[in-house]
């Protein structure tokens, strides 16, 4: 019943006649008859829009939407301003393809150019690309950028997000390169171990800060070790945190990567998200994916184009360093829009409130007998506690509509963003206290 | 138009957050950002107007005809957007407990079941974020399969020279040597060239069928049989699945694994370059090699990105599949092919199709003779189409056709639109003989004139800087 | 099209000039005209070994990239850094804009004379 084909049966017949055919079957004359599907697809019959709506709404209703989210670990529940939801839904942005034809795509190209500028300003790096798929693939692509004939090994901190480590490992498996994991000590990267592992064959070291346990790493010092060994320093950051924390540029990163989901994208059970990638000017031509550049048009006016295309797969084919074609352009537009909507003061305020609320929650939880903080280093908006009755605690919170922290190792990894109120945090702490009493 | 930074006024702002209701926290100053944070400062209305101005400088499928070959620019239903925005999908944390995410899991299960049925596959992953990412995932299946059997000598992947650039780039990312084989004069696989390339060192073949010139390779069963006979596997690039869905299945053509572009075939919007989703399907014997998220489903498998994939794109695709259902899926394919053949017929007589026979969902025009005669290139024609409000076809692809324009009208265009498009092509054909100069300098009434791409590449300006 | 007679050529359109044991390598006038506006040159590093018949770098135009094939084997002793900022020199002065200099030359790819190269190009074109 559902269909988006405008042509009526009569029109289709006339069109067939116009191409000298009598039936639709003739359209597929090149397909060996034995191969043609000789039965209807085993799918339900098509439905009207209203029926489909009911069915999808019923599926959505099978998920639980928590009033309070105290879980992060790679996906964060930040406040998304109304305008940030509304603008990317404009059909022009939504339904355009990659801006191959600059003369009718200046809006998309300019939005990416603006995004690239904001990412450079946020990170203190020189150049940003137009995005890759997510934070994990951004880290994997960064590792590939750093390898050369002599230096082929990638190092990654054990405190990076497990999905990031596994994704980098998969990309290394693809090209047949080695990945070595640098151990941690007390929830942060072990700098002594790193020093020893920085051998002559190491191309890069990937550090995440704040790391998976929420701990802020001593990125500057670790970066210096990496550079002393003539390897490249890849720093994975949290974009909201950079309103407060030292930028990858200030930490000496050669490449900065991030999961861009916190910048106005819904958690959406894991995607679509946004892979942020920015680098020093020196590495500009090694960046993968689309990059928008400014130029002038035939009338001498400012214009934007997809630039430096000779890096890419459609020109370099098997010699391209990445096969990426489609990226996450609409998510990049959303992130740029989010940053513009918050502005410098708004982003700082959001970051400060994340910091303050996470520390408030940490204080409230650790005041409960039996709850201890596992790692004592500085943190931004995530921290790991150890406590008894972990499953009961999370179940009690769940019953109250609160998504508690993530079970990690022997503890719980908590997160608080600007979105939660003091009352919600007090309530969560009271429930934990009650369970443990 | 001005950049958002040029509209910024100190102190302009939106009011979004309440005052902080917990004590402030100070971090050690050594950890803090030293540099300014020079983000733009605007009021909400200023932001709204800026982006509205930008969106007027975009041509989407909703604006007009978009016959961009190999990109399947069909209508993107609004209901799909609304369903993806339901809080029950959009607000779900990827690491929420299993019982809190039953709906999400069911979306993936049902979508997997339907797509397996459409493609003739047995297993499916939604982790890949786009077509190229799906290719990477699919070729990694092939790599893992051979490795698991201790068959380490298979170092080559065969790719026809008509293939999209992502195919050879993918094979290289998976550590394979790429063997490019020349296409037959009709754009299909040259069986002799294939036989010559096959051997015990071949891991597999990457192919799209219909191929990149829009023709169905009638030797497909022979092709996949030859590859299998030498121990290789066959990878189906689903870029052109829209031509055949519900009519003939890649699994029945002999393919072992496949990626689909949900943002092409299954009507999810392309967003000006993404997000897409590159679902990958495979036959039963490859299922154990499908990737998964370590955090969501446990360690022990490869994984190609974080979490379960571009889930909200899958929600849109499932909404579309439920709408079309068992009759609607082949109906879409048949009408995509009908529209392409109708448009080709209407254009023939002016521009020349590269292959003058029944096409699938798209066809390629060869403008090389026309260019010799008039001096007007495929690029000039493309730019002249912009002046007439039509998005140009894919240009200069595939590489095996010179001065190529590749048109894919899709099934959602009406006969009237196709007639109008054909009339514009005929008008431009005539114009090239009358006033070629007008076409060399086109577009004349677009957002911008032709941009200086050489300047952009030689002296890259990749960000705005305050003067 | 210009084919200086004092240079040796390859069928992959590089030119070679040798003096004092150092080989200077560039691309021919024909190569630059086929490529169109050169926008970037990927150069090897000083000290890198090069092999006759193997690529040592590439040149990019807006919509194409083309390997630079080394006519000799040896070690790169100098690269023309001016090309990094001004790749257009390969278009405006292909025989002045050398790309790399190679020392300790141990072997050669198949080389042809200016006249032979001119004949080869006219056959190809």
Segments making up each domain of chain A, as ranges: 68-79+344-436, 82-337
Chain A residues with CB-CB distance to B178 below 8 A: 317-318
Nearest to A75 by CA among A187, A212, A188, A189: A212
Question: Is the minimum CB–CB distance between C62 and chain B shorter than 8 Å?
Answer: yes
Residue B277 has which token pair? Answer: 């989703």
In a domain, C53, yes or no: yes
Asked if the Cβ–Cβ distance from A295 to B461 is below 8 Å, we say yes
**Among A285, A315, A319, beta carbon nearest to C64:** A315
Mean pLDDT of B150-163: 95
Q: How confident is the model at residue B294 (pLDDT cuts 50, 70, 90)?
A: confident
Interchain pair A326, B464: CB under 8 A = no
What is the mean pLDDT of the segment spanning A279-287? 96
Instruction: Flag if C62 and B453 touch (Cβ within 8 Å).
Output: yes
Quote the CA–CA distance of B161 and B194 in Å, as a whole number.
12
For residue A148, pLDDT over 60 is answered with yes
Measured CA distances, C79 to A147, A430, B116, C27, C47 (Å): 22, 69, 55, 14, 10
Q: Is C87's Cβ below 8 Å from some Cβ in B?
A: yes
Minimal Cβ distance to B218: which of A32, A45, A96: A32
Mutate to test the interface with C, among B454, B456, B459, B461 (most CBs of C within 10 A): B454
Contact B24/A356 with Cβ under 8 angstroms?
yes
Which pairing describes strands B177-181 and B156-160: parallel, antiparallel, or unpaired?
Answer: parallel
| pLDDT per position as a tens digit, A207-242 | 999 999 999 999 999 999 999 999 999 999 999 999
**Mean pLDDT within C61-80:** 93
Label residue C16 left, alpha or beta by phi (over 0 means left) and psi (-120 to 50 means alpha): beta
The reply to whether C49 falls in a domain is: yes
CATH of segment(s) B78-321:
3.40.640.10
Are A315 and C39 a contacting pair at CB < 8 A? no
- The CATH code of the domain that includes C91 is 2.40.50.100
CB contact (8 A) between residue A92 and residue B293: no
- Considering only residues B111 and A314, tell me which one the structure prediction assigns the higher pLDDT: B111
Size of interface B-C (CB pairs under 8 A): 14
Q: Is residue C57 part of a domain?
A: yes
- Cis bond before residue B428 (omega within 30° of 0): no
Closest CA to A262 of A129, A122, A377, A166: A122
Considering only CB atoms, which chain C residues are within 8 Å of A309?
A: 62-63
C-alpha to C-alpha distance for B279 and B270, rounded to whole angstroms: 15
Distance (Å) from the alpha carbon of C97 to chain B's nearest alpha carbon: 17
Please compute Rg for chain B using Cα positions. 25
Nearest-neighbour CA in chain B from A127: distance (Å): 7
Domain membership of residue C61 (yes or no) is: yes
Residue A93: both structure tokens together:
């942005």
Find which of A270, A320, A333 to mutate to test the B interface (most B CBs within 10 Å of its CB). Answer: A270
The alpha-carbon gap from C114 to the nearest alpha carbon of chain B, in Å, equals 30
Q: Which residues of C touch B454 (CB under 8 A)?
A: 37, 39, 62
CB contact under 8 Å between B454 and C63, yes or no, is no
Task: Tell me which residue has tokens 């003539």.
Answer: A230
Handedness of CA B224, B228, B232, B236 (dihedral sign): positive
Q: What is the pLDDT of residue C64?
A: 86
Contact C88 B453 (CB under 8 A): no
Of the residues C41, C65, C85, the best mutation for testing chain A's interface (the one with the most A CB atoms within 10 Å of its CB) is C65
Please give, rounded to a whole number of angstroms, the shortest distance from the CA of C54 to a CA of chain B. Answer: 17
Chain B neighbors of A124, CB-CB under 8 A:
35
**Nearest CA-CA partner of C43 in C88, C89, C95, C82:** C82
Which architecture, in CATH terms, is B328-453? Answer: Alpha-Beta Complex (3.90)
What pLDDT was estimated at residue B215? 94
Give backbone dihedrals phi and psi of B94, rounded to 5 degrees, phi first.
-65, -20
Residue B142 has pLDDT above 60, yes or no: yes
Q: State whether B244 and A406 contact (CB < 8 Å).
A: no
Query: How confident is the model at residue C125, as a pLDDT?
Result: 57
User: Cβ contacts (< 8 Å) between A5 and chain B: which residues?
Assistant: 331-332, 335, 411-412
Confidence of residue B295 (pLDDT cuts 50, 70, 90): confident
Q: Which residue of B lies nearest to A271 if distances are taken between CA atoms? A: B310
Q: Considering only CB atoms, which chain A residues are within 8 Å of C65? A: 310, 315-316, 319
Chain B interface with C: residues with Cβ < 8 Å: 396, 453-454, 457-458
Fold entry, domain A68-79+344-436: 3.90.1150
Tell me the chain A residues in contact with residue B34 when contact means C-beta distances shorter than 8 Å: 246, 250
Contacts of A315 in chain C (CB under 8 A): 63-65
A100 and C CB contact within 8 Å: no
C88 to chain B, any CB pair closer than 8 A? The answer is yes
In a domain, C116, yes or no: no
Q: What is the 3-state secondary structure (H, E, C) of chain B?
A: CCCHHHHCCCCCCCCCCCCCCCCCCCCCHHHECCCCCCCCCCCHHHHHHHHHHHHCCCCCCCCCCCCECCCCCCCCCHHHHHHHCCHHHHCCCCCCCHHHEHHHHHHHHHHHHHHHHHHCCCEEECCCCCHHHHHHHHHHHHHHHHHHCCCCCCCEEEEECCCCCHHHHHHHHCCCEEEEECECCCCCECHHHHHHHCCCCEEEEEECCCCCCCCCCCCHHHHHHHHHHCCCEEEEEHHHHHHCCCCECHHHHCCCEEECCCCCCCCCCCCCCCCCCCCEEECHHHHHHCCCCHHHHCCCCCCCCCCCCCHHHHHHHHHHHHHHHHHHHHHHHHHHHHHHHHHHHHHECCECECCCCCCCCCEEEECHHHHHHHCCCHHHHHHHHHHCCCCCCEECCCCCCCCEEEECCCCCCCHHHHHHHHHHHHHHHHHHHHCHHHHHCCCCCCCCCCECHHHHHHCCCCCCCCC
Distance from CA of A347 to the nearest CA of C (A): 38
Please state which CATH number belongs to domain A82-337.
3.40.640.10
pLDDT at A272: 98
Chain C CB contacts of B394 below 8 Å: none
Give SS3 for C51.
Answer: coil
Spatial neighbors of B411 by CB under 8 A, at least 6 apart, are: A4, A5, B74, B242, B331, B332, B333, B334, B335, B336, B338, B339
Supply A213's token pair: 């346990």
In this prediction, the answer to ipTM > 0.95 reads: yes
> Chain B residue with minimal CA distance to C37?
B454
Domain boundaries, chain B: 4-55, 78-321, 328-453
User: In chain B, whose CA is at the least distance from the CA of A247?
Assistant: B33
pLDDT tens-digit series, residues A366-388 = 999 999 999 999 999 999 999 99
- Chain C residues near residue A102 by CB distance under 8 angstroms: none
Residue A250 to residue A124: CA distance in whole angstroms: 7
Question: Cβ contacts of residue B316 below 8 Å, gap of 6+?
Answer: B80, B81, B83, B84, B262, B266, B267, B268, B269
Order across the sheet with A382-386: list the strands: A372-373, A382-386, A411-415, A406-408
pTM over 0.95: yes
A82: CB partners within 8 A, 6+ apart: none
Question: Who's near B462: CB < 8 A, 6+ residues apart?
Answer: A113, A116, A127, A128, A284, A291, A292, A293, A294, A307
Q: In what order do the strands lie in the sheet with B363-366?
A: B363-366, B404-407, B394-395
Please, is B416 exposed, middle or buried when counting C-beta atoms within 10 Å of its C-beta (0-12, 13-18, 19+)?
exposed
Chains with 3 or more CB pairs closer than 8 angstroms to A?
A: B, C
At residue A316 the predicted structure's pLDDT band, cuts being 50, 70 and 90, is confident
pLDDT of residue B209: 95
Residue A146 has pLDDT above 70, yes or no: yes
Which of these, C57, C53, C40, lies nearest to C11 by C-alpha position? C53
Number of domains in chain C: 1
The tens digit of pLDDT for each residue in B25-58 reads: 999 999 999 999 999 999 999 999 999 999 999 9
Element housing C19 (H / E): strand C14-19
Strand, helix or coil for residue C41: strand
The kind and range of the H/E element at C78 are strand C72-79
A315/C65 CB distance under 8 A: yes
Q: What is the DSSP letter of C90?
A: H
Taking every pair of Cα atoms in chain C, the longest distance, rounded to a whole number of angstroms, is 38
Summarised one tens digit per residue, pLDDT across range B269-283 is: 999 999 999 999 999
For residue A291, give the nearest of A273, A300, A279, A301 by alpha carbon: A279
- B5, B8, B12, B15: CA torsion to nearest 10: -20
Q: Are the beta carbons of C40 and A315 separated by less than 8 Å?
A: no
Asked if C40 and B457 come within 8 Å (Cβ–Cβ), the reply is yes
Q: Would you place residue A314 in the very low, low, confident or very high pLDDT band (cuts 50, 70, 90)?
A: confident
- For residue B458, give the chain C residue with the closest CA: C39
Of B13, B78, B82, B75, whose CA–CA distance to B43 is shortest?
B13
Q: Which residues in chain A have their CB less than 8 angstroms from residue C64's CB?
A: 310, 315
Inter-axis angle of helices A329-366 and B44-55, nearest 10: 150
**C88 CA: distance to closest CA in chain B (Å):** 8
Calculate Rg over the CA atoms of chain A.
25
Of the candidates B62, B97, B324, which has its C-beta nearest A3's C-beta? B324
Average pLDDT, chain A: 97
C10, C114 Cβ separation under 8 angstroms: no
Identify the DSSP state of C17. E
Q: What is the mean pLDDT of residues A242-248?
A: 98
Q: Is the pLDDT of residue C75 over 70?
A: yes
Residue C65 contacts A, CB cutoff 8 Å: yes
pLDDT at B300: 81
Inspect the interface and report whether the beta carbons of B453 and C87 lie closer than 8 Å: no
Q: Is the CB of C34 inside 8 Å of chain A's CB atoms?
A: no
User: Which residues form the domain of C56?
Assistant: 15-111
Q: What is the pLDDT of residue B186?
A: 82
C-alpha dist (Å) from residue B355 to B25, B216, B289, B401, C2: 70, 12, 39, 10, 39
C67–chain A nearest CA distance, Å: 10
**Coil, strand or helix at C62:** coil
Does residue C104 form part of some domain?
yes
Give the three-state DSSP class for C25. Answer: strand
Cα maximum dimension of chain A: 84
- Give the pair of three-digit tokens for residue A197: 């592992």
The answer to whether A317 contacts B140, with C-beta atoms less than 8 Å apart, is no
Angle subtended at Cα A209 by Cα A207 and Cα A214, rounded to the nearest 5 degrees: 125
């Amino acid at each position: 019943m559902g269909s988006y084909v405008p042509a009526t049966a009569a029109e289709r017949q006339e069109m067939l006649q116009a191409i000298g055919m009598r039936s639709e079957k003739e359209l597929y004359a090149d397909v060996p008859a034995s191969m043609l599907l000789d039965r209807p697809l085993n799918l339900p019959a098509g439905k009207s829009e209203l029926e489909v709506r009911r069915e999808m709404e019923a599926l959505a209703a099978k998920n639980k939407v928590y009033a309070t989210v105290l879980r992060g670990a790679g996906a964060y529940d930040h406040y998304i301003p109304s305008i940030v939801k509304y603008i990317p839904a404009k059909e022009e942005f939504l339904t355009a393809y990659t801006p191959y034809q600059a003369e009718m795509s200046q809006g998309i190209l300019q939005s990416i150019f603006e995004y690239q500028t904001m990412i450079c300003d946020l990170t203190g790096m020189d150049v940003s690309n137009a995005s890759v798929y997510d934070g994990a693939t951004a880290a994997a692509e960064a590792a590939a950028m750093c390898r050369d004939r002599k230096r082929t090994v990638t190092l990654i901190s054990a405190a990076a997000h497990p999905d990031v480590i596994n994704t980098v490992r998969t990309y290394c498996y693809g090209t047949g390169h080695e990945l070595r994991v640098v151990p941690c000590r007390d929830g942060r990267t072990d700098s002594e171990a790193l020093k020893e592992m920085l051998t002559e064959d190491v191309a890069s070291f990937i550090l995440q800060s704040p790391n998976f346990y929420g701990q802020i790493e001593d990125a500057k010092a670790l970066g210096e070790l990496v550079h002393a060994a003539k390897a490249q320093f890849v720093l994975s950051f949290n974009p909201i945190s950079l309103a407060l924390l030292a930028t990858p540029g200030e930490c000496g990163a050669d490449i900065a990567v991030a999961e861009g989901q916190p910048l106005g994208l819904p958690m959406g059970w894991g995607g679509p998200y946004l892979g942020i990638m920015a680098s020093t000017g020196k590495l500009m031509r090694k960046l993968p994916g689309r990059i928008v550049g400014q130029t002038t048009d035939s009338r001498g006016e400012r214009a934007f184009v997809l630039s430096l295309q000779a890096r890419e797969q459609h020109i370099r084919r098997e010699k391209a360093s990445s096969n990426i074609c489609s990226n996450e352009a609409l998510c990049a537009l959303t992130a740029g829009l989010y940053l513009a909507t918050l502005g410098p003061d708004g982003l700082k305020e959001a970051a400060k409130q994340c910091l303050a609320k996470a520390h408030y929650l940490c204080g409230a939880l650790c005041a409960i007998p039996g709850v201890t903080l596992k790692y004592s280093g500085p943190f931004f908006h995530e921290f790991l506690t150890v406590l008894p009755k972990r499953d009961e605690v999370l179940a009690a919170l769940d019953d109250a509509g609160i998504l508690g922290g993530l079970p990690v190792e022997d503890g719980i990894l908590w997160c608080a963003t600007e979105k939660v109120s003091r009352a919600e945090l007090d309530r969560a702490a009271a429930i934990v206290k009650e369970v443990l009493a | 138009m001005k950049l958002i930074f040029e509209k910024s006024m100190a102190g302009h702002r939106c009011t979004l957050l309440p005052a902080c209701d917990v004590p402030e926290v100070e971090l050690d100053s050594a950890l803090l950002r030293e540099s300014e944070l020079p983000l733009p400062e605007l009021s909400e209305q200023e932001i709204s107007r800026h982006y509205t101005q930008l969106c007027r400088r975009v041509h989407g499928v909703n604006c007009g005809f978009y016959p961009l070959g190999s990109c399947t620019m069909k209508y993107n239903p609004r209901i799909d957007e609304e369903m993806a925005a339901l809080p029950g999908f959009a607000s779900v944390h990827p690491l929420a407990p299993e019982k809190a995410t039953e709906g999400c899991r069911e979306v993936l299960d049902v979508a997997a079941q339907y797509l397996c049925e459409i493609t003739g596959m047995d297993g499916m992953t939604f982790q890949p974020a786009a077509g190229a990412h799906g290719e990477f995932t699919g070729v990694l299946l092939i790599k893992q399969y051979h490795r698991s059997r201790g068959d380490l000598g298979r170092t080559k992947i065969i790719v026809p020279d008509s293939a999209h650039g992502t195919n050879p780039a993918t094979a290289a990312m998976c550590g394979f040597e790429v063997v490019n084989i020349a296409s037959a004069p009709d754009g299909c696989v040259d069986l002799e060239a294939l036989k010559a390339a096959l051997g015990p060192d071949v891991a597999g073949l990457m192919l799209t069928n219909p191929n990149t010139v829009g023709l169905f390779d009638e030797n497909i069963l022979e092709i996949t049989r030859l590859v299998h006979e030498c121990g290789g596997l066959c990878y189906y690039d689903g870029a052109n699945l829209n031509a055949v869905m519900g009519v003939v299945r890649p699994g029945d053509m002999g393919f072992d694994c496949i990626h689909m572009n949900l943002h092409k075939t299954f009507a999810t919007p392309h967003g000006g370059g993404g997000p897409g989703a590159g679902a990958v399907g495979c036959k039963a014997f490859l299922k154990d090699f499908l990737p998964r998220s370590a955090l969501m489903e446990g360690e022990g498998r490869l994984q190609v990105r974080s979490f379960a994939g571009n889930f909200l794109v899958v929600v849109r695709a499932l909404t579309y599949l439920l709408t079309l259902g068992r009759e609607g899926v082949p109906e879409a394919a048949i009408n995509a092919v009908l529209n392409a053949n109708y448009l080709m017929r209407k254009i023939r007589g002016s521009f020349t199709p590269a292959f003058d026979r029944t096409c699938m969902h798209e066809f390629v025009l060869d403008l090389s003779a026309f260019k010799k005669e008039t001096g007007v290139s495929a690029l000039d024609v493309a730019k002249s189409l912009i002046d007439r409000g039509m998005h140009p076809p894919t240009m200069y692809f595939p590489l095996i056709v010179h001065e190529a324009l590749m048109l894919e009208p899709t099934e959602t265009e009406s006969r009237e639109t196709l007639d109008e498009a054909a009339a514009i092509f005929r008008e431009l054909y005539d114009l090239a003989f009358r006033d070629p100069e007008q076409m060399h300098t086109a577009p004349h009434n677009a957002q911008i004139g032709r941009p200086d791409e050489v300047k952009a590449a030689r002296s890259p300006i990749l960000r705005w800087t305050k003067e | 099209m210009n084919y200086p007679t004092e240079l040796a050529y390859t069928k992959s359109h590089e030119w070679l000039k040798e003096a004092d044991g150092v080989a200077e390598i560039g691309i021919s006038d024909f190569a630059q005209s086929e490529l169109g506006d050169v926008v970037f040159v990927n150069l090897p590093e000083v000290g890198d070994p090069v092999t006759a018949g193997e690529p040592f770098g590439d040149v990019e135009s807006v919509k194409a990239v083309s390997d630079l094939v080394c006519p000799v084997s040896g070690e790169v002793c100098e690269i023309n850094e001016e090309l990094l900022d001004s790749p257009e020199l390969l278009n405006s002065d292909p025989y002045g804009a050398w790309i790399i200099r190679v020392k300790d030359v141990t072997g050669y790819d198949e080389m042809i004379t200016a006249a032979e190269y001119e004949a080869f190009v006219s056959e190809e074109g």
